[in-house]
Structure 1
């Protein structure tokens, strides 16, 4: 999923809900539109949540000492959103 899919589903759902005046036997287009819009919003939320978690990066540094022992250092950092308030 991505932002494009979420926006497409949201737009298609809102068009079905508010702009289409036609009817199909056995199908309520308004309800189908609301369902599509809800799925679109859910897709947008899931995409935003997963992309926020992928911003975390980490590095691993291994140091080998003269006596043969090794030291491993792991650093994790999160990239701040430039538009976020301090």
Structure 2
């Protein structure tokens, strides 16, 4: 949701800055557009960072004694999964 919000803010800011030629006395629409584009970029980057953290996985390698020698087991789990050994 954060990535989509960032894109929407950026698009609205670009429209205010580059597409509208309206002069209002109480606000500078170009500056408001630049602020919205900056907020959109920040929201987009925060969304990418949160998505990258969510997809992190842990790999655990264990060597255990078994009949006739040692056995190596490797298990992988994603963030949010239960531990499986």
- Alignment length (residue pairs): 64
Corresponding residue for residue 13 of structure 1: 13
CA distance in structure 2 between the partners assigned to 1:5 and 1:59 by the alignment: 33
TM normalised by structure 2 equals 0.65
Q: Could you say what the CA RMSD is over the residues aligned between the two structures, in angstroms? A: 2.3
Equivalent position SS for 1:5: helix
CA distance in structure 1 between the partners assigned to 2:42 and 2:24 by the alignment: 26
1:6-45 aligned at under 5 Å gives the runs 6-45=6-45
Q: Which runs of 5+ in 2 are unaligned?
A: 61-74, 79-85
Shift of 1:37: 0.3
- Of Structure 1 and Structure 2, the greater helix share is in 2
Corresponding residue for residue 2 of structure 2: 2
Equivalent position SS for 2:35: helix
